[in-house]
Amino acid sequence: KTPDSHVPRDPRLIRLTGVHPFNVEAPLSDLYNEGFLTSPDLFYVRNHGHVPEVRDEDIPDWEFSVEGLVDKPLRITLKDLIAEYEQKTYPITLVCAGNRRKEQNVVRKTKGFSWGAAGVSTALWTGVVLGDVLRKACPRRAAKYVCMEGADKLPNGYYGTSVKLNWAMDPNRGMMLAHKMNGEMLRPDHGKPLRVVIPGQIGGRSVKWLKKLILAEAPSDNWYHIYDNRVLPTMVSPEESANKPEWWTDERYAIYDLSTNSAIAYPAHEEQLCTVGAPENYRVKGYAYGGGGRRVTSVEISIDKGKTWRLSNIEYAEDKYREAPDQELYGGKLDMWWREASFCWCFWHLDIPVNELKGANDIIVRGMDESMNLQPRDMYWSVLGMMNNPWFRVAVHHEG
Ligand code: MTE
Protein backbone atom coordinates (compact mmCIF):
# COMPACT_ATOMS: atom_id res chain seq x y z
CA LYS A 1 0.00 0.00 0.00
CA THR A 2 1.45 3.39 -1.04
CA PRO A 3 0.29 6.85 0.08
CA ASP A 4 -1.46 7.02 -3.32
CA SER A 5 -3.67 3.94 -3.05
CA HIS A 6 -6.73 6.18 -3.50
CA VAL A 7 -5.59 7.15 -7.03
CA PRO A 8 -6.88 5.20 -10.05
CA ARG A 9 -4.25 4.68 -12.77
CA ASP A 10 -4.02 3.21 -16.26
CA PRO A 11 -1.90 0.05 -16.51
CA ARG A 12 -0.53 1.13 -19.90
CA LEU A 13 1.54 3.88 -18.25
CA ILE A 14 5.24 3.08 -17.88
CA ARG A 15 6.65 3.72 -14.40
CA LEU A 16 9.96 5.57 -14.41
CA THR A 17 10.76 5.69 -10.68
CA GLY A 18 9.62 2.48 -9.01
CA VAL A 19 6.47 2.29 -6.95
CA HIS A 20 6.40 5.74 -5.37
CA PRO A 21 6.29 8.63 -6.17
CA PHE A 22 4.32 8.10 -9.35
CA ASN A 23 6.22 9.26 -12.45
CA VAL A 24 5.00 7.83 -15.72
CA GLU A 25 4.82 8.25 -19.45
CA ALA A 26 2.77 6.39 -22.05
CA PRO A 27 4.46 4.27 -24.72
CA LEU A 28 5.33 6.88 -27.36
CA SER A 29 3.29 5.18 -30.10
CA ASP A 30 0.20 5.06 -27.83
CA LEU A 31 0.65 8.73 -26.97
CA TYR A 32 0.93 9.59 -30.66
CA ASN A 33 -2.13 7.50 -31.53
CA GLU A 34 -4.22 9.47 -29.03
CA GLY A 35 -3.93 12.40 -31.41
CA PHE A 36 -3.88 16.10 -30.58
CA LEU A 37 -5.66 15.80 -27.20
CA THR A 38 -4.25 13.26 -24.79
CA SER A 39 -6.83 11.48 -22.69
CA PRO A 40 -6.21 11.97 -18.95
CA ASP A 41 -5.61 8.18 -18.78
CA LEU A 42 -2.39 8.46 -20.77
CA PHE A 43 -1.31 12.00 -19.84
CA TYR A 44 2.23 11.90 -18.42
CA VAL A 45 2.53 12.32 -14.64
CA ARG A 46 5.35 13.97 -12.69
CA ASN A 47 4.81 13.81 -8.92
CA HIS A 48 7.50 14.68 -6.38
CA GLY A 49 5.62 12.92 -3.58
CA HIS A 50 2.16 11.76 -2.58
CA VAL A 51 -1.07 12.87 -4.20
CA PRO A 52 -3.27 14.88 -1.79
CA GLU A 53 -6.56 13.07 -1.25
CA VAL A 54 -9.59 15.27 -1.92
CA ARG A 55 -13.08 13.81 -1.61
CA ASP A 56 -15.55 14.89 -4.30
CA GLU A 57 -17.89 16.45 -1.73
CA ASP A 58 -15.03 18.68 -0.49
CA ILE A 59 -14.11 20.06 -3.92
CA PRO A 60 -16.36 23.19 -3.84
CA ASP A 61 -14.77 24.22 -0.53
CA TRP A 62 -11.17 23.78 -1.67
CA GLU A 63 -9.57 27.09 -0.77
CA PHE A 64 -6.45 28.89 -1.91
CA SER A 65 -5.00 32.24 -0.85
CA VAL A 66 -3.57 35.25 -2.64
CA GLU A 67 -1.16 36.96 -0.25
CA GLY A 68 2.19 38.74 0.09
CA LEU A 69 2.64 42.11 -1.61
CA VAL A 70 -1.05 42.82 -2.24
CA ASP A 71 -3.40 45.46 -0.84
CA LYS A 72 -6.32 43.02 -0.59
CA PRO A 73 -5.29 39.52 0.46
CA LEU A 74 -7.86 36.98 -0.74
CA ARG A 75 -9.06 33.53 0.23
CA ILE A 76 -11.00 31.99 -2.64
CA THR A 77 -12.92 28.73 -2.69
CA LEU A 78 -13.21 26.74 -5.88
CA LYS A 79 -16.97 27.28 -5.88
CA ASP A 80 -16.45 31.08 -5.80
CA LEU A 81 -13.73 30.90 -8.43
CA ILE A 82 -16.21 29.19 -10.73
CA ALA A 83 -19.13 31.49 -9.86
CA GLU A 84 -17.33 34.85 -9.89
CA TYR A 85 -14.76 34.65 -12.69
CA GLU A 86 -15.14 34.15 -16.40
CA GLN A 87 -14.42 30.53 -17.32
CA LYS A 88 -12.24 29.88 -20.35
CA THR A 89 -11.13 26.75 -22.15
CA TYR A 90 -7.83 26.51 -23.98
CA PRO A 91 -5.78 23.73 -25.61
CA ILE A 92 -2.34 23.74 -23.98
CA THR A 93 0.54 21.26 -24.17
CA LEU A 94 2.43 20.50 -20.98
CA VAL A 95 5.99 19.19 -21.16
CA CYS A 96 8.22 18.01 -18.35
CA ALA A 97 11.65 19.68 -18.53
CA GLY A 98 13.04 16.15 -18.16
CA ASN A 99 11.45 14.96 -21.42
CA ARG A 100 14.08 12.88 -23.33
CA ARG A 101 16.44 12.81 -20.32
CA LYS A 102 17.20 9.12 -20.91
CA GLU A 103 19.53 10.11 -23.77
CA GLN A 104 21.51 12.32 -21.35
CA ASN A 105 21.74 9.51 -18.79
CA VAL A 106 23.18 7.22 -21.48
CA VAL A 107 25.97 9.71 -22.20
CA ARG A 108 26.64 10.49 -18.54
CA LYS A 109 24.45 9.88 -15.50
CA THR A 110 22.49 12.97 -14.41
CA LYS A 111 20.71 13.49 -11.09
CA GLY A 112 17.35 12.82 -12.79
CA PHE A 113 15.44 9.70 -13.79
CA SER A 114 15.14 8.55 -17.38
CA TRP A 115 12.24 9.97 -19.36
CA GLY A 116 11.75 8.74 -22.88
CA ALA A 117 10.15 11.13 -25.35
CA ALA A 118 6.60 10.88 -23.96
CA GLY A 119 6.94 13.35 -21.08
CA VAL A 120 4.57 15.61 -23.03
CA SER A 121 0.77 15.69 -23.37
CA THR A 122 -2.01 18.05 -24.43
CA ALA A 123 -5.41 18.81 -22.91
CA LEU A 124 -8.22 21.34 -23.16
CA TRP A 125 -7.94 23.15 -19.83
CA THR A 126 -10.91 24.97 -18.33
CA GLY A 127 -10.53 27.58 -15.63
CA VAL A 128 -9.82 31.26 -15.10
CA VAL A 129 -7.12 33.61 -16.30
CA LEU A 130 -4.46 33.94 -13.57
CA GLY A 131 -4.16 37.72 -14.09
CA ASP A 132 -7.91 38.18 -13.42
CA VAL A 133 -7.48 36.68 -9.94
CA LEU A 134 -4.27 38.56 -9.13
CA ARG A 135 -5.77 41.89 -10.21
CA LYS A 136 -8.59 41.50 -7.65
CA ALA A 137 -5.97 41.33 -4.90
CA CYS A 138 -4.44 44.67 -6.00
CA PRO A 139 -0.73 43.85 -6.34
CA ARG A 140 1.63 46.42 -4.87
CA ARG A 141 4.24 48.15 -7.00
CA ALA A 142 7.10 46.26 -5.33
CA ALA A 143 5.65 42.87 -6.35
CA LYS A 144 7.72 41.32 -9.16
CA TYR A 145 7.07 37.57 -8.83
CA VAL A 146 4.14 35.22 -8.25
CA CYS A 147 5.18 32.37 -5.98
CA MET A 148 2.90 29.33 -6.03
CA GLU A 149 2.58 26.49 -3.58
CA GLY A 150 0.82 23.13 -3.72
CA ALA A 151 -0.73 20.94 -1.01
CA ASP A 152 1.76 18.10 -1.36
CA LYS A 153 4.06 18.14 1.67
CA LEU A 154 7.45 16.72 0.61
CA PRO A 155 10.75 16.03 2.40
CA ASN A 156 11.86 19.61 1.70
CA GLY A 157 8.54 21.38 2.31
CA TYR A 158 5.53 21.98 0.06
CA TYR A 159 6.15 21.92 -3.69
CA GLY A 160 6.50 25.49 -4.92
CA THR A 161 8.00 27.68 -7.62
CA SER A 162 7.48 31.13 -9.17
CA VAL A 163 7.07 33.06 -12.40
CA LYS A 164 7.37 36.77 -13.12
CA LEU A 165 4.32 38.81 -12.19
CA ASN A 166 4.32 40.74 -15.47
CA TRP A 167 4.06 37.42 -17.33
CA ALA A 168 1.13 36.37 -15.17
CA MET A 169 -0.63 39.69 -15.87
CA ASP A 170 -0.11 39.42 -19.64
CA PRO A 171 -3.22 37.86 -21.21
CA ASN A 172 -1.20 36.87 -24.28
CA ARG A 173 0.76 34.39 -22.16
CA GLY A 174 -2.42 32.54 -21.24
CA MET A 175 -1.48 31.57 -17.68
CA MET A 176 -4.49 30.08 -15.92
CA LEU A 177 -5.90 28.33 -12.87
CA ALA A 178 -7.58 25.18 -14.21
CA HIS A 179 -10.12 22.86 -12.59
CA LYS A 180 -10.99 20.72 -15.61
CA MET A 181 -9.08 18.88 -18.32
CA ASN A 182 -10.86 17.70 -21.47
CA GLY A 183 -14.17 18.60 -19.86
CA GLU A 184 -13.76 16.43 -16.76
CA MET A 185 -12.80 17.41 -13.27
CA LEU A 186 -9.00 17.19 -12.87
CA ARG A 187 -7.77 13.70 -12.03
CA PRO A 188 -5.91 13.33 -8.70
CA ASP A 189 -2.53 12.93 -10.43
CA HIS A 190 -3.04 16.14 -12.41
CA GLY A 191 -3.91 18.46 -9.52
CA LYS A 192 -7.46 17.69 -8.44
CA PRO A 193 -9.21 19.96 -7.73
CA LEU A 194 -7.18 23.03 -8.88
CA ARG A 195 -3.84 23.65 -10.57
CA VAL A 196 -1.87 26.33 -12.32
CA VAL A 197 -1.26 25.93 -16.08
CA ILE A 198 1.61 27.94 -17.55
CA PRO A 199 1.58 27.61 -21.36
CA GLY A 200 4.83 27.44 -23.32
CA GLN A 201 6.98 26.91 -20.23
CA ILE A 202 8.34 23.78 -18.60
CA GLY A 203 5.74 21.72 -16.72
CA GLY A 204 7.47 22.28 -13.37
CA ARG A 205 6.01 25.80 -13.18
CA SER A 206 2.42 24.51 -13.42
CA VAL A 207 1.80 23.86 -9.72
CA LYS A 208 -0.78 21.18 -8.92
CA TRP A 209 -3.14 21.05 -5.89
CA LEU A 210 -2.82 24.84 -5.62
CA LYS A 211 -3.02 26.30 -2.09
CA LYS A 212 -1.14 29.61 -2.21
CA LEU A 213 -0.25 32.44 -4.57
CA ILE A 214 2.25 34.74 -2.89
CA LEU A 215 3.32 38.00 -4.54
CA ALA A 216 6.92 38.83 -3.76
CA GLU A 217 9.87 41.02 -4.65
CA ALA A 218 12.16 38.05 -5.39
CA PRO A 219 11.78 34.63 -7.03
CA SER A 220 10.54 31.77 -4.87
CA ASP A 221 12.94 30.48 -2.20
CA ASN A 222 11.14 27.12 -2.17
CA TRP A 223 13.58 24.18 -2.20
CA TYR A 224 11.98 22.79 -5.37
CA HIS A 225 12.31 26.12 -7.16
CA ILE A 226 16.02 26.24 -6.37
CA TYR A 227 17.12 22.62 -6.69
CA ASP A 228 14.86 21.57 -9.56
CA ASN A 229 14.16 22.75 -13.10
CA ARG A 230 17.53 24.33 -13.82
CA VAL A 231 20.16 23.93 -16.49
CA LEU A 232 23.50 24.47 -14.76
CA PRO A 233 26.60 24.99 -16.92
CA THR A 234 27.74 21.71 -18.47
CA MET A 235 31.02 21.44 -16.50
CA VAL A 236 29.18 21.19 -13.15
CA SER A 237 29.28 17.54 -12.02
CA PRO A 238 26.79 15.84 -9.68
CA GLU A 239 29.45 15.68 -6.93
CA GLU A 240 30.51 19.31 -7.28
CA SER A 241 26.95 20.64 -7.50
CA ALA A 242 26.14 19.04 -4.13
CA ASN A 243 28.60 21.32 -2.32
CA LYS A 244 28.00 24.53 -4.22
CA PRO A 245 24.70 26.21 -3.27
CA GLU A 246 25.78 29.27 -5.28
CA TRP A 247 25.35 27.31 -8.53
CA TRP A 248 21.75 26.59 -7.59
CA THR A 249 20.64 29.94 -6.25
CA ASP A 250 21.74 31.77 -9.41
CA GLU A 251 18.35 32.54 -10.98
CA ARG A 252 19.97 32.84 -14.42
CA TYR A 253 20.05 29.04 -14.59
CA ALA A 254 16.34 28.62 -13.84
CA ILE A 255 14.51 27.51 -16.99
CA TYR A 256 11.13 28.84 -18.12
CA ASP A 257 10.34 28.75 -21.88
CA LEU A 258 10.56 25.27 -23.39
CA SER A 259 13.23 24.61 -25.98
CA THR A 260 12.28 23.57 -29.52
CA ASN A 261 11.92 19.81 -29.62
CA SER A 262 10.63 16.92 -31.72
CA ALA A 263 10.51 13.14 -31.69
CA ILE A 264 9.80 10.28 -34.05
CA ALA A 265 6.92 8.03 -32.97
CA TYR A 266 7.00 5.84 -36.10
CA PRO A 267 9.16 3.95 -36.64
CA ALA A 268 9.44 3.11 -32.94
CA HIS A 269 12.86 2.42 -31.44
CA GLU A 270 12.71 -1.37 -31.75
CA GLU A 271 10.42 -1.54 -34.77
CA GLN A 272 11.47 -3.87 -37.59
CA LEU A 273 10.99 -2.16 -40.93
CA CYS A 274 9.84 -4.49 -43.60
CA THR A 275 11.40 -3.17 -46.80
CA VAL A 276 10.94 -6.31 -48.82
CA GLY A 277 7.74 -6.39 -50.84
CA ALA A 278 6.48 -3.40 -48.81
CA PRO A 279 4.32 -0.56 -50.16
CA GLU A 280 6.17 2.14 -52.03
CA ASN A 281 6.47 4.55 -49.13
CA TYR A 282 7.06 4.33 -45.41
CA ARG A 283 5.38 7.12 -43.44
CA VAL A 284 7.67 8.58 -40.75
CA LYS A 285 5.58 10.36 -38.09
CA GLY A 286 6.01 12.22 -34.85
CA TYR A 287 5.44 15.38 -32.84
CA ALA A 288 7.20 18.72 -32.38
CA TYR A 289 6.77 21.72 -30.09
CA GLY A 290 8.28 25.14 -29.58
CA GLY A 291 8.68 27.21 -26.41
CA GLY A 292 7.20 30.49 -25.19
CA GLY A 293 4.29 30.45 -27.66
CA ARG A 294 6.57 30.19 -30.68
CA ARG A 295 5.19 28.05 -33.47
CA VAL A 296 7.24 25.24 -35.02
CA THR A 297 7.73 26.39 -38.58
CA SER A 298 9.73 23.54 -40.04
CA VAL A 299 10.40 19.90 -39.32
CA GLU A 300 13.15 18.19 -41.29
CA ILE A 301 14.08 14.56 -41.68
CA SER A 302 17.44 13.08 -42.63
CA ILE A 303 18.22 9.48 -43.54
CA ASP A 304 21.93 10.16 -44.18
CA LYS A 305 23.05 11.29 -40.72
CA GLY A 306 22.31 14.95 -41.30
CA LYS A 307 24.11 15.47 -44.63
CA THR A 308 20.85 16.24 -46.44
CA TRP A 309 17.36 17.05 -45.16
CA ARG A 310 13.80 16.59 -46.43
CA LEU A 311 10.98 18.90 -45.42
CA SER A 312 8.17 17.21 -43.54
CA ASN A 313 4.46 18.08 -43.56
CA ILE A 314 3.14 19.66 -40.38
CA GLU A 315 -0.41 19.56 -39.04
CA TYR A 316 -1.36 22.30 -36.56
CA ALA A 317 -4.46 20.74 -34.99
CA GLU A 318 -4.96 23.72 -32.67
CA ASP A 319 -5.95 25.82 -35.71
CA LYS A 320 -9.26 24.00 -35.75
CA TYR A 321 -10.02 25.78 -32.46
CA ARG A 322 -8.73 29.11 -33.73
CA GLU A 323 -11.20 28.98 -36.60
CA ALA A 324 -14.15 28.73 -34.20
CA PRO A 325 -13.53 31.40 -31.59
CA ASP A 326 -16.02 32.23 -28.85
CA GLN A 327 -17.65 28.83 -28.90
CA GLU A 328 -18.75 27.27 -25.64
CA LEU A 329 -16.67 24.24 -24.88
CA TYR A 330 -16.72 22.17 -21.71
CA GLY A 331 -18.26 24.95 -19.65
CA GLY A 332 -15.69 27.54 -20.69
CA LYS A 333 -15.54 30.00 -23.54
CA LEU A 334 -12.96 29.04 -26.14
CA ASP A 335 -11.36 32.28 -27.15
CA MET A 336 -7.97 31.85 -28.68
CA TRP A 337 -6.68 35.13 -27.43
CA TRP A 338 -3.23 34.02 -28.34
CA ARG A 339 -4.21 33.98 -32.01
CA GLU A 340 -0.60 34.84 -32.79
CA ALA A 341 0.98 32.41 -30.35
CA SER A 342 1.11 28.64 -30.27
CA PHE A 343 1.03 26.76 -26.99
CA CYS A 344 0.41 23.33 -28.46
CA TRP A 345 2.40 20.56 -30.00
CA CYS A 346 2.03 19.81 -33.71
CA PHE A 347 2.17 16.51 -35.58
CA TRP A 348 4.29 15.95 -38.64
CA HIS A 349 4.67 13.17 -41.20
CA LEU A 350 6.77 12.41 -44.24
CA ASP A 351 6.49 9.61 -46.78
CA ILE A 352 9.89 8.19 -47.67
CA PRO A 353 10.26 5.80 -50.62
CA VAL A 354 11.06 2.38 -49.21
CA ASN A 355 13.87 1.83 -51.69
CA GLU A 356 15.63 4.92 -50.31
CA LEU A 357 15.19 3.73 -46.73
CA LYS A 358 16.83 0.43 -47.59
CA GLY A 359 20.31 1.86 -47.27
CA ALA A 360 19.60 3.92 -44.14
CA ASN A 361 20.94 3.11 -40.67
CA ASP A 362 18.84 5.66 -38.94
CA ILE A 363 16.24 8.39 -39.32
CA ILE A 364 16.80 11.79 -37.75
CA VAL A 365 14.34 14.63 -37.09
CA ARG A 366 14.93 18.23 -36.11
CA GLY A 367 12.48 21.10 -35.71
CA MET A 368 12.80 24.86 -35.93
CA ASP A 369 10.53 27.56 -34.50
CA GLU A 370 9.49 30.93 -35.89
CA SER A 371 12.49 32.64 -34.22
CA MET A 372 14.80 30.15 -35.94
CA ASN A 373 15.51 28.26 -32.73
CA LEU A 374 16.75 25.09 -34.40
CA GLN A 375 17.29 21.85 -32.53
CA PRO A 376 21.06 21.41 -32.17
CA ARG A 377 23.06 18.48 -33.52
CA ASP A 378 24.92 18.07 -30.22
CA MET A 379 23.57 17.41 -26.77
CA TYR A 380 24.06 19.98 -24.02
CA TRP A 381 24.59 17.72 -20.99
CA SER A 382 23.79 19.23 -17.62
CA VAL A 383 23.61 17.88 -14.09
CA LEU A 384 19.80 17.69 -13.93
CA GLY A 385 19.52 16.51 -17.55
CA MET A 386 16.84 19.02 -18.46
CA MET A 387 15.66 20.58 -21.75
CA ASN A 388 17.34 17.84 -23.76
CA ASN A 389 16.64 18.66 -27.41
CA PRO A 390 19.34 17.56 -29.85
CA TRP A 391 18.33 15.91 -33.14
CA PHE A 392 16.11 12.92 -32.33
CA ARG A 393 17.26 9.67 -33.89
CA VAL A 394 15.82 6.18 -34.32
CA ALA A 395 17.88 3.30 -35.64
CA VAL A 396 16.33 1.51 -38.61
CA HIS A 397 16.10 -2.27 -38.18
CA HIS A 398 15.56 -3.98 -41.50
CA GLU A 399 13.46 -7.07 -41.56
CA GLY A 400 14.27 -10.00 -43.82
N1 MTE B 1 2.93 20.57 -8.48
C2 MTE B 1 2.99 19.99 -7.27
N3 MTE B 1 2.23 20.50 -6.29
N4 MTE B 1 3.79 18.92 -7.04
C5 MTE B 1 4.58 18.38 -8.03
O6 MTE B 1 5.28 17.38 -7.77
N7 MTE B 1 5.35 18.57 -10.36
C8 MTE B 1 5.60 19.58 -11.40
C9 MTE B 1 4.32 20.26 -11.84
N10 MTE B 1 3.56 20.68 -10.71
C11 MTE B 1 4.56 18.99 -9.30
C12 MTE B 1 3.67 20.08 -9.50
C13 MTE B 1 6.26 19.05 -12.57
S14 MTE B 1 7.96 18.87 -12.48
C15 MTE B 1 5.59 18.85 -13.76
S16 MTE B 1 6.42 18.41 -15.17
C17 MTE B 1 4.13 18.98 -13.84
O18 MTE B 1 3.55 19.33 -12.59
C19 MTE B 1 3.52 17.69 -14.31
O20 MTE B 1 2.12 17.79 -14.42
P21 MTE B 1 1.27 16.47 -14.71
O22 MTE B 1 1.67 15.43 -13.70
O23 MTE B 1 -0.15 16.87 -14.60
O24 MTE B 1 1.62 16.03 -16.10
CATH number of 50-91+122-253: 3.90.420.10
- For 261-399, CATH number out of 2.60.40.650, 3.40.50.1820, 2.20.25.10, 2.60.40.10 equals 2.60.40.650
Task: Establish whether 346 is a catalytic residue.
Answer: no
Separation of CA 4 and ligand 1 centre (Å): 15
How far does the chain reach from its first CA to its final CA, in angstroms? 47
| In contact, 149 and 214? CB cutoff 8 Å | yes
CA-to-CA distance for 64 and 56, rounded, in angstroms? 17
Looking at ligand 1, which residue's alpha carbon is closest to its atom 9? 204
Q: What is the pLDDT of residues 24-53, one digit of tens each?
A: 999 999 999 999 999 999 999 999 999 999
| In contact, 386 and 97? CB cutoff 8 Å | yes
| Residue 177: strand, helix, or coil | strand
- Cis peptide, bond prior to residue 155, ω within 30 of zero: no
Question: So what's the pLDDT on residue 327?
Answer: 75
pTM over 0.90: yes
Separation of CA 191 and ligand 1 centre (Å): 8
Question: So what's the pLDDT on residue 339?
Answer: 61
CA-to-CA distance for 346 and 367, rounded, in angstroms? 11
Point out the residues of the chain with pLDDT beneath 70. Answer: 276-278, 325-326, 336-339, 400
The string of DSSP letters for 241-272 reads HHT-HHHHH-GGGB--BPPPEEEEEES-TTPE
Pocket of ligand 1 (CB under 6 A): 43-48, 94, 96, 150, 152, 159, 189-190, 203-204, 206-209
What are the b/e assignments for 145-163, b being 16+ CB within 10 Å? bbbbbbbbebeeebbbbbb
Q: What ranges do the domains of the chain cover? A: 50-91+122-253, 261-399
- Ligand 1, from 9, 46, 225: best to mutate by most atoms within 8 Å of Cβ? 46
Nearest CA to 259 among 136, 77, 99, 81?
A: 99
Question: So what's the pLDDT on residue 338?
Answer: 58
Looking at ligand 1, which residue's alpha carbon is closest to its atom 10? 207
Question: So what's the pLDDT on residue 272?
Answer: 85
| In contact, 78 and 31? CB cutoff 8 Å | no
Question: So what's the pLDDT on residue 400?
Answer: 63
Question: So what's the pLDDT on residue 270?
Answer: 86
Nearest CA to 16 among 7, 30, 26?
A: 26
Separation of CA 393 and ligand 1 centre (Å): 28
CA-to-CA distance for 266 and 214, rounded, in angstroms? 44
The conformation of residue 139, written as its DSSP 8-state character, comes to B
Task: Establish whether 228 is a catalytic residue.
Answer: yes
Looking at ligand 1, which residue's alpha carbon is closest to its atom 11? 47
Separation of CA 157 and ligand 1 centre (Å): 15
Ligand 1 nearest-atom number relative to CA 196: 10
Active-site residue (options: 4, 23, 47, 96):
96
- Ligand 1, from 4, 45, 96, 289: best to mutate by most atoms within 8 Å of Cβ? 96
Active-site residue (options: 4, 152, 228, 369):
228
Separation of CA 363 and ligand 1 centre (Å): 32
Q: What is the pLDDT of residues 80-112, one digit of tens each?
A: 999 999 999 999 999 999 999 999 999 999 999
Task: Establish whether 58 is a catalytic residue.
Answer: no
Looking at ligand 1, which residue's alpha carbon is closest to its atom 13? 204
Question: So what's the pLDDT on residue 171?
Answer: 86
Separation of CA 10 and ligand 1 centre (Å): 18
Question: So what's the pLDDT on residue 341?
Answer: 83
